[in-house]
Amino acid sequence: MTRIKLTVDGMAVSDDVEPRTLLVHYLREQLGKTGTVVGCDTSNCGACTVHLDGQSVKSCNVLAVQADGGEITTIEGLADTVPDRADGQLHPVQEAFRECHGLQCGYCTPGMIMASVDLLNRNPHPTEQEIREGLEGNLCRCTGYHNIVRAVQYAAEGEQP
């Protein structure tokens, strides 16, 4: 067992973990943050995407011990990162996915949203091509991506001055 200390969705946590524990399993099974899901066994699908120190990562491909000392945001804490947030208010990208119906079964959605937030952080006004390429690490088996791309465009427009 190795002791790790990190911040997850704004909360300081400290736990003993087996070194082989994947970050996604630590989040889901030890912290109960089941909003982050596992969609594949090959690190291809992106469903498990969270932010580690402000960058999108596939949490199925990071050991919990590698995240020691880090700061993690999952889909469950994303809305809390909005400054002066009203009770029940969603993050603008969550709101955009709802508004544009950027999902069908919803399985890819937590990862899609976390990857989209990272994309917009780096490039606040992406072209359609940049959105499609920026989300290349996230697979959706339902939507054909069309409404997902629209949702990211919608969120980007909303953030324009």
Partner 1 sequence: MIPAAFDYVAPTTLEEALAALGEHGDDAKLLAGGQSLLPVMRMRLNAPEWVIDLGRIESLRGIREEGDELVIGAMTPHAVVGEDPLVAQHARLLTDAEAEVADAQIRHRGTIGGALVHADPAGDLGAPARALDARFVIAGAGGTRTVAADEFFLDLFETAVGEDEILTEIRVPKRTGWRTHYEKFVRVKHQWSIVAVAVAVRLEGDTVAEARVGLTNMGNTPLRARGVEEALTGRPATEESVAAAAARASEGTAPPSDLNGDAAYRSHLAQVLTRRALMTAISGGTA
Ligand X SMILES: Cc1cc2nc3c(=O)[nH]c(=O)nc-3n(C[C@H](O)[C@H](O)[C@H](O)COP(=O)(O)OP(=O)(O)OC[C@H]3O[C@@H](n4cnc5c(N)ncnc54)[C@H](O)[C@@H]3O)c2cc1C
27-35, 67-75, 88-96, 103-111 -> range binding ligand FES (CB under 6 A): 103-111
Kindly report the length of the chain: 161
d(CA 50, CA 22): 13
Burial of 68 (0-12, 13-18, 19+ CB in 10 A): middle
Pick from 17, 140, 151, 155: which binds ligand FES (CB under 6 A)? 140
d(CA 76, CA 56): 15
Minimum separation from the CB atom of position 151 to ligand X (A): 24
Give the E-state strand segments of the chain in sequence order: 2-8, 11-17, 49-52, 55-58, 71-73
Pick from 2, 34, 43, 121: which binds ligand FES (CB under 6 A)? 43
Q: Is 43 in the site for partner 1 (CB under 8 A)?
A: yes
Beta-bridge partner residues of 55: 52
Beta-bridge partner residues of 52: 55, 72
Q: Is 105 in the site for ligand FES (CB under 6 A)?
A: yes
Pick from 44, 66, 104, 153: which binds ligand X (CB under 6 A)? 44
Which CB, 104 or 132, lies closer to ligand X?
A: 132
Site for partner 1, residues 119 to 158, rule: CB under 8 A = 119, 133-134, 136-138
Pick from 6, 21, 26, 46: which binds ligand FES (CB under 6 A)? 46
Pick from 3, 10, 34, 55: which binds partner 1 (CB under 8 A)? 55
Q: Is 43 in the site for ligand X (CB under 6 A)?
A: yes
Going by C-alpha positions, the residue among 138, 143, 142, 109 that lies closest to residue 36 is 109
Which CB, 40 or 105, lies closer to ligand X?
A: 40
Assign 57 to helix, strand or coil: strand
Q: Which residues bind ligand X (CB under 6 A)?
A: 43-44
